[in-house]
Amino acid sequence: MNTFRVLEIKKSVYEGNDARAAALRAELKRRGLFLLNLMSSPGAGKTTTLLRTIDALGAELRMGVLEADLDSDVDARAIAPRGVKVIQLHSGGMCHLDADMTRQGLEGLGTEGLDLVVLENIGNLICTADFDTGASRNAMILSVPEGDDKPLKYPHMFSVVDAVLVNKIDAMDFFDFDLEKFTKRVRELNPRARIMPISAKTGEGIAAWAEWLRAEVRGWKEA
């Protein structure tokens, strides 16, 4: 018994993604609906972080979730028991969502009465960074086992985000991850992004992340 739908989204036939993304963002702003675009490599911990985020903010914000994947519904299955509105999007093999595909997802989900929708984007550090989804804010997760050199290899991703979550910090001693070096590398690409170490597994750092997100959602509704 699933409490979510699976939506096969269509490849956008429209040119001009930037303009369509700007239009979607303006519409979300008018409606006071905050859309967070959450990106990462496969297995960096997007879903577990999202579960922690729902636990931290679900009582005060009405949340919805768009789970995008090439295939499967494992992520929507993981989210559904939390009682938030969730829909699984299948991208038909594509490695990113654009603004039109995001709009299809929001319409499929139904956003009436929601404060915050999180788009869990498809797992990769390349294509997803190339397409503005129309989100209010962009965040990414880099997990400790991936290594502190990733800003050098995927500079575009690190330059387009408003927040960088460094996940699996409980494994920091196990892997050779230098947070100071990593932070310096991110700073060179993106001086304004907020960098937040977390462990979605233990809950460490989640309060600071939730506080950042809460403030962004409030600012979006008020300003």
Cα-only R_g, the chain: 16
Q: Which is nearer to its own copies, 93 or 113 (CB)?
A: 93
Cβ proximity of 213 and 36 under 8 Å: yes
How is the beta sheet containing 34-40 ordered, strand by strand? 5-8, 85-90, 63-69, 116-120, 34-40, 137-143, 163-167, 194-197
DSSP state of 164: E
Q: What type of residue is 2?
A: N
CB of 216 to its own copies, least distance (A): 26
Q: How far apart are CA 41 and CA 130, in angstroms?
A: 15
3-state DSSP call for residue 35? strand
CB of 176 to its own copies, least distance (A): 9
Q: How far apart are CA 125 and CA 131, in angstroms?
A: 12
Q: Which is nearer to its own copies, 23 or 127 (CB)?
A: 127
CB of 77 to its own copies, least distance (A): 10
The residues of the shown chain that bind its own copies, judged by CB under 8 A, are: 41-44, 69-72, 74-75, 93, 95, 122-127, 130, 143, 145-147, 149-150, 152-156, 168, 171, 174-175
CB of 68 to its own copies, least distance (A): 11
Q: Which is nearer to its own copies, 29 or 159 (CB)?
A: 159
Q: Which is nearer to its own copies, 74 or 207 (CB)?
A: 74
Q: Which is nearer to its own copies, 173 or 180 (CB)?
A: 173
